[in-house]
Amino acid sequence: MYVIVVYDVDVKRVARVHRFLRTHLHWRQNSVFEGEVTRSQLYEIKQTLAELIDGDDSVLIYELPRENFNLHVIGTDRNPTGEII
């Protein structure tokens, strides 16, 4: 499956969440990551995020059956190559 992850977390926890997500997914923009994952990886990602976040933090994970979308970028494409940073 393919996931798009968007996080909105307190600035105190941004670095931790970002560091964790980049070990599993491609960074796409500011607070957006993407990538192909297995069901067990998705489960692990959800579990770890639940531990990392706190307070009013919110993370959305869009789980698509596969990478089946067109991506339109308006303005700056922050990571056009899908490079893992």
Binder to its own copies among 12, 16, 44, 63 (CB under 8 A)? 63
**14-to-30, 63, 71 alpha-carbon distances in Å:** 10, 22, 25
For residues 67 and 33, is the Cβ–Cβ distance under 8 A?
no
Residue 56 annotated as lining a ligand binding site: no
Query: Do residues 62 and 8 make contact, with C-beta atoms less than 8 angstroms apart?
Result: no
Q: How far is the CB of 47 from its own copies (least distance, A)?
A: 9
Token pair 């700056």 in the structure block, residue: 76
28 is a contact residue toward its own copies (CB under 8 A)? yes
**DSSP H/E element including 21:** helix 11-22
Near its own copies by CB under 8 A: residue from 65, 81, 83, 85: 65
Least CB distance to its own copies at residue 5 (A):
9
Residues binding its own copies (CB under 8 A): 4, 6, 8-9, 28-32, 42, 46, 49-50, 53, 56-65, 68-78
Binding-site sequence positions: 8
